[in-house]
Every structure is written in C-alpha cells, then in structure tokens.
Structure 1
Amino acid sequence: MEIREPEPDEAERIREVIDSSMTTSFRLSPGQIDGMTDDQFGDDTVADKIGDEGTLLHVVETGDEIEGTVIAGFVEGRLEDEWGEVNWLFVDPEHRGKGIGTELYETASETLRDRGAEHVCATVLEANTEGHQFVERFGLEHNGDRSIEVAGESLVKYVYTDADVDVDLPTESRADSEDAQADEFPETETTDGQLTATTDDGATVYVAREEEAESGNAAPFYVTYEDEAHTDQYGFYCANCGSLDVSMAEMDRLECSDCGNEHAERSEESYDDSYL
C-alpha cells in the first residue's frame, strides 16, 4: 500500500473509485451520484484541486507484481481558518477491509497538522450510510452541520471534531449550521437538544435524525418517536417537505401523502468495518 499525491491524468480512475463507493454506501439516486461526481470530481476540477496549495489530495495505490497496481482509495482535505478539514474520503468497495480508509484518514490528518492546522475535523455527507460510524471510530463527535450546494442540489454534511475541542468550528460550518438544519429538516425545531416536529393535533414527536433513516427519491425519511428516549415509535417524518403524513404500503414502501416523496431502493445498508 502506497499513499501519494495524485497526477492529473489519474482523474478518471479517481472518479471510478468515488462512483463505486457512493453507489455502495450513499443514500443517493444514480442521478444525484452522477451530478456530484461531475460537479466535484470531474477531470478539470481534480486538476484544479491538485494545483491548489490549500487543498490536500492523496490516493492509495495497492496491488501486486502479478496483477499490477491500482488506485483503491482517495481523500481530500483543506485548511480552513486554524482548522484542517478531511472533507471527502472514498475507498473502492472491492478493496475494503484492508485498512485503506484508516491509513488515508490518519495520513491526511497528520499532513494537515504539518501544514499548520491546530485542529482537525471531518465532514461526512448526511447520505453517507457508513461514513458516520467510520469517523466515530477515531473518537470524533458530531458537532455541527454544513449546507453545501452540489450540482444544483442542497445537501447537508455533518461536522465531526474531537470531543474535548472547545473552539469555534471553521467559519463556513458556523455560518451555515442553522441554515443546514432548516434545509434538511423543514417544519422542525430543537427541543432540549433533540430534533422535534409537531403533529396536526399539537403533539410533539422526536425525529431520529442520525439513525434509522430510509432513503427517498426526493429526500430521506426518518423514524419518529413519541418520547425523548426513542422507545415508542410514532411513524415517519419526510425530510423533503416536513410532513408526518407518511404511509407504509406493501413491501415496506414509504410514501409521503403531501409531496409524493417515495422510498427508493439502495444498494447496501450494512456497516461492516469495510473502511477500516
């Protein structure tokens, strides 16, 4: 395994790794994945990032003498204020379980500190079903949200930091935290630190925002509970319009009666330490 900086002519292989990783691990439609890879990881964009001194890019090259070497992982980071941010990390599903993700994260974090970062955070797209558990393995905790525009769509990233960090998050995270929640969770508010919604008869239900989500063709669905401890399930919340009027049809297919958002199949949901 070798970690190194990529060359501009390797952008196509980097895109293949990212596309495969997103297809396996992200709650995004094929169109959303294509839009994101075009927007964030097209040939010209990767070349520009390689030439940007403030951006860190590393790839992992792995293989043997018989089959040759191949790029199996990719990480992107950058310096923001006194922070170093690890903002994208992908491992080809065919090469998971070899410690590639761990090596990429640790190398990127160390490099950012060498370049002057006093603190390091990681950002994980909300739709990344496996990335949240991955960064938590390094002792990081969810400490804020960030709204980003990708290919004309508003998406949300969770910002993870060390548990004992008592300094402001990077400027962009601070400025966008409230907007991110409003965009991702319409018709909600925060009650005693928990995300809540209100039913038509005025009752408060609790939205399980970081777990038990189901994909939708417009936005995810989230399980809701009648109590703070999340023991008595109420139903589902539609993150596209904020409605609690979500029905479950045959084959456990969810549908929002207000906006038509429907449960969308996804390729794989289990987390199996594959990044580590």
Structure 2
Amino acid sequence: MEIREPTSDEAERIREVVDSSMTTSFRLSPNQIDAVTDDTFAEDAVAERLKDETTVLRVAETAAEIEGEAVTGFVEGRLEDGWGTVRWLFVDPEHRGRGIGTELYETMSETLRDRGAERVCVTVLEANTEGHQFVERFGLEHDGDWRVDVADESLVKYVYTDPSVDADHPAESTGADSQDADEEGFPEAEMTDGTLASTDDGETVYIDRSEEESGTAASFFVTYEDADFTDQYGFYCANCGSLDISMDNMDRLECGDCGNTHAERSGESYDDSYL
C-alpha cells in the first residue's frame, strides 16, 4: 500500500470511494449523501483543494485488483491557526480490514505536523456511526460540536482532540458558514430559565437540555409538560424546532418535519474494518 498525493484526474475515483463509504457507514439519506458528494467532492472542488496550500489531500493506493480502482482510501486535512484538522477520511468498503484507515490517519497527522501544525484534531460527522469509535481508538476525546452547511444540508460534526491539549480549535470550514452547535439557538422555542417550545395546539412544553439524543442533522431533546421535568411529553428536534417526533419499537427517533433521525452509536455498530 502506498499513501500519496492524488492527481486531479483521480477526482472521480475519489468521489466513488466517498459515495460508497458514506452509503455503507453513514446514517444519511441518499439525497443528503448526493448533496455532500456533489458539493464537496465534485471534480472541480477537489481540483481547487489540490491547489490550496492550507489543504492536504492523500489517497491510499493498493494493487489494482480491478483496473482503474487502485485508489481505495482518501483523507483530507487542513492547516489553520496552529491547528491541523483531519476533516474527512474514507475507505472503500470492499477494501476494509487491511489497515488502510489507520495508515491514512497516521500519515495525515504526521504530514500536518511536518507542515507546522502544533496540535491536531479530527472532525467526524454525527451521522458517521462507525467513525467515532475509530477516532477514539487513537486516544482522542469528543471536545465540541460544529454545525456545517454543505449544499443546503445542515449537518453536525463532532470535534475530537487529544485530552492533554488546552487550546480552542478553529471552526470547521467546508465552504459555507459554520458555528458552534452548542451555542446555537433552539428553533421555534422561547428562551427562558427553562427552554420552552409550543405544540401545534398551543400548549407549552419544556425542553430538558441535559437529556439529549444524537441525530443525523442535530440533537433531539426530551420534552416535559411541566417545568420540573416530571411528566414527559415527547421529543424536540433541534434541527427545525419540531415536536412532531415519532419513535419506533427499536427506539429510533425521526422528525416528521425535516427527516432528522436518531443515530444510535454503540459497540455493536462499530466495524473493525476501518482499522
């Protein structure tokens, strides 16, 4: 296996790797996956980042079992304000289990430090149900969330850093506005000592910020009929402000307005093939 800088004519293959990896391992709809790949991994977008001195791209090349498909993995890093950020890492599902993901991560981290990064962090989409455990294998810890807008899709990225690092990391930049997901407002909710939201029939419910469930676009929060949080009403979607949240018999949450879904992460959902 060789880790090297890609060429501009390999953009289409990179996109194929990204698409197949996201389809296999991300809890996103086909339309959301298409939006990310069309916006961030289109041929011209990859070509532009190859010219950008603050962006580092690397691919993993293995012996071509099928002609033209030697590229089996992709990683992207960025240098900003003393930080090196590993922004994206993908491995073709058909080539997992060979250490490609580990080699890509370690090579990118070393390259970013060689280029002047004093600290390295990793961002992982909330919807990447396997990527979180992969990053934690390297001793990194969840250290904040960023909301990123990609092709009109609002997504949440988790930021992972070395626990010994005591410095603020820069906002993730993916070509659109980014903000700290922890500091964003609650849509359609009145902010008081307790967070309030109104139901369709005019009732008031209370959002408990301490009871949070992950979601593919934003978190879900438990809601109560009273300010003391004793009688549960249901759930609140922090992506669109809706209270129209359904739960199936597998405890899977889904927002009836925006399609945000609960992305359960557990040891059972982790796939060692990334390593």
- The CA deviation at 1:61 is 0.7
CA distance in 1, matches of 2:161, 2:132: 12
Q: Match for residue 201 of structure 2?
A: none
Q: Match for residue 54 of structure 1?
A: 54
- Tell me if the contact between 1:55 and 1:77 (Cα under 8 Å) persists in the aligned partners: yes
Matches within 5 A, 1:180-199: 180-181=181-182, 186=187, 187=189
- The CA deviation at 1:49 is 1.2
Question: Which secondary structure does the structure 1 equivalent of 2:274 belong to?
Answer: coil
Q: Match for residue 274 of structure 2?
A: 275
Specify the code of the residue in structure 1 equivalent to 2:29. Answer: S
CA distance in 1, matches of 2:19, 2:62: 18
**1:90/1:130 CA distance change after superposition, 3 Å:** same
Q: Match for residue 111 of structure 2?
A: 111
* 1:135 equivalent in alignment to 2:173: no
Matches within 5 A, 1:1-276: 1-63=1-63, 67=66, 70-170=70-170, 177-178=179-180, 180-181=181-182, 186=187, 187=189, 200=204, 202=206, 204=208, 206-210=210-214, 213=215, 219=217, 222=220, 224=222, 235-248=234-247, 254=253, 256=255, 260-262=257-259, 270-276=269-275
- The CA deviation at 1:5 is 0.6
Specify the code of the residue in structure 2 equivalent to 1:101. Answer: G
Q: Match for residue 228 of structure 2?
A: none
- The CA deviation at 1:3 is 0.6
- The CA deviation at 1:274 is 2.1
- The CA deviation at 1:198 is 5.7
- The CA deviation at 1:80 is 0.6
- The CA deviation at 1:177 is 4.7
- The CA deviation at 1:118 is 0.6
- The CA deviation at 1:254 is 4.9
CA distance in 1, matches of 2:186, 2:83: 27
Give deviations 1:45-86, integer Å, cap 9, x for gaps: 11111122221000001126x655611100000111101111
Q: Give the 4+ runs in structure 1 shifted more than 6 A.
A: 250-253, 263-266
**1:145/1:95 CA distance change after superposition, 3 Å:** same
Give deviations 1:133-177, integer Å, cap 9, x for gaps: 11111111111222222112222211111001012212558x955
CA distance in 2, matches of 1:184, 1:29: 25
Specify the code of the residue in structure 2 equivalent to 1:142. Answer: H
Query: Which structure 1 residue ranges, 5 or more long, are not aligned?
Result: 227-232
CA distance in 2, matches of 1:234, 1:95: 46
**Normalising to structure 1: TM-score of the pair?**
0.77
**Normalising to structure 2: TM-score of the pair?**
0.77
Give deviations 1:201-255, integer Å, cap 9, x for gaps: 5473633345xx5x5xxx46747499xxxxxx98544233334552336787755
Query: Which structure 2 residue ranges, 5 or more long, are not aligned?
Result: 198-203, 225-231
CA distance in 2, matches of 1:152, 1:201: 30
**1:169/1:220 CA distance change after superposition, 3 Å:** closer
**How many percent of aligned residue pairs carry the same amino acid?**
63
**What root-mean-square deviation, in Å, do the aligned CA atoms of Structure 1 and Structure 2 show?**
3.5
**1:75/1:244 CA distance change after superposition, 3 Å:** same
